[in-house]
Amino acid sequence: MHRRAFGVVGVAAAIVAGSALALAYSSGSSADGGPVSASPAASPTFKVDAVHSSVLYRIKHLNAAWSYGRFNDISGTFNIDDGGAIDVTVKTASVDSANAKRDGHLQSPDFFSAKEFPEITFKSTSMTRTGDDTFEARGPLTLRGVTRDVTVSIEKTGEGPGQRGQGKVQGFEARFTIKRTDFGINYMVGPLGDEVTLIVSLEGNA
């Protein structure tokens, strides 16, 4: 009789202990009373908002002043926080130098050859955090049918709720310099510089 009573008491004690342990974990506490750390939520992938994004370029003219231009047709996705990826496409026919005649020349075979090579693409293969809000991305840049690996310095410029509180918005700015002759753009090297700096400011929604 006593053995049976002790057995019942032991089972009851085990049930109570198990329930207390489960309650501790469900309330955010560990078995020893300390907090249980939750896994951080994964950063979403953002879709580029072309209306609020810019891709600019600058090139030296006559070794005197910087000449700036832009591309107006941008698309792609990005996730920079989780060692993710950037995948961006720019339409070469959207080049805009604030001069229609020059834009036509830039679209010609002397420069971008937009009909034959309608897109400039960059797709990162690695992403490394270099500071609280800075990163370094590496990957292939394809321009005028030529693909070269480039390294891109990135600064996250902000994030927050989307418009009307829906979803999430994030932005970053990236800069890198290429030699246009590496991509077969050899026209007027001398009067026009060989080095071209690209400034990419993207805003995305998730």
Domain boundaries, the chain: 1-38, 46-205
- For residue 203, the one-letter residue type is E
**Secondary element (H or E) of residue 141:** strand 134-143
The pLDDT score that the predictor gives to residue 29 is: 44
Mean pLDDT (the chain) is 86
pTM: 0.78
Cα dihedral 51/56/61/64 (nearest 10): 110
Q: For 40-64, what is the mean pLDDT?
A: 93
The answer for residues whose C-beta is within 8 angstroms of residue 110's C-beta and 6 or more apart is 187, 188
Q: Where are the alpha helices (DSSP H) in the chain?
A: 2-26, 100-106
Per-residue pLDDT at 32 exceeds 60: no
Per-residue pLDDT at 16 exceeds 80: no
The pLDDT score that the predictor gives to residue 25 is: 37
Q: For 140-162, what is the mean pLDDT?
A: 97
The pLDDT score that the predictor gives to residue 2 is: 42
Q: For 71-85, what is the mean pLDDT?
A: 93
Return d(Cα 116, Cα 181) in angstroms, integer: 18
Per-residue pLDDT at 27 exceeds 50: no
Between 46 and 21, the higher pLDDT residue: 46
Q: For 103-119, what is the mean pLDDT?
A: 98
The pLDDT score that the predictor gives to residue 40 is: 55
Backbone φ and ψ for 77, nearest 5 degrees, come out as -140, 160
The pLDDT confidence band at residue 14, using thresholds 50, 70 and 90, is very low
The pLDDT score that the predictor gives to residue 41 is: 63
The pLDDT score that the predictor gives to residue 34 is: 53
Q: Is 77 in contact with 45 (CB distance < 8 Å)?
A: yes
Per-residue pLDDT at 43 exceeds 90: no
Q: Would you say domain 46-205 falls under CATH 1.20.120.450? A: no
The pLDDT confidence band at residue 4, using thresholds 50, 70 and 90, is very low
What is the SS3 assignment for 100? helix
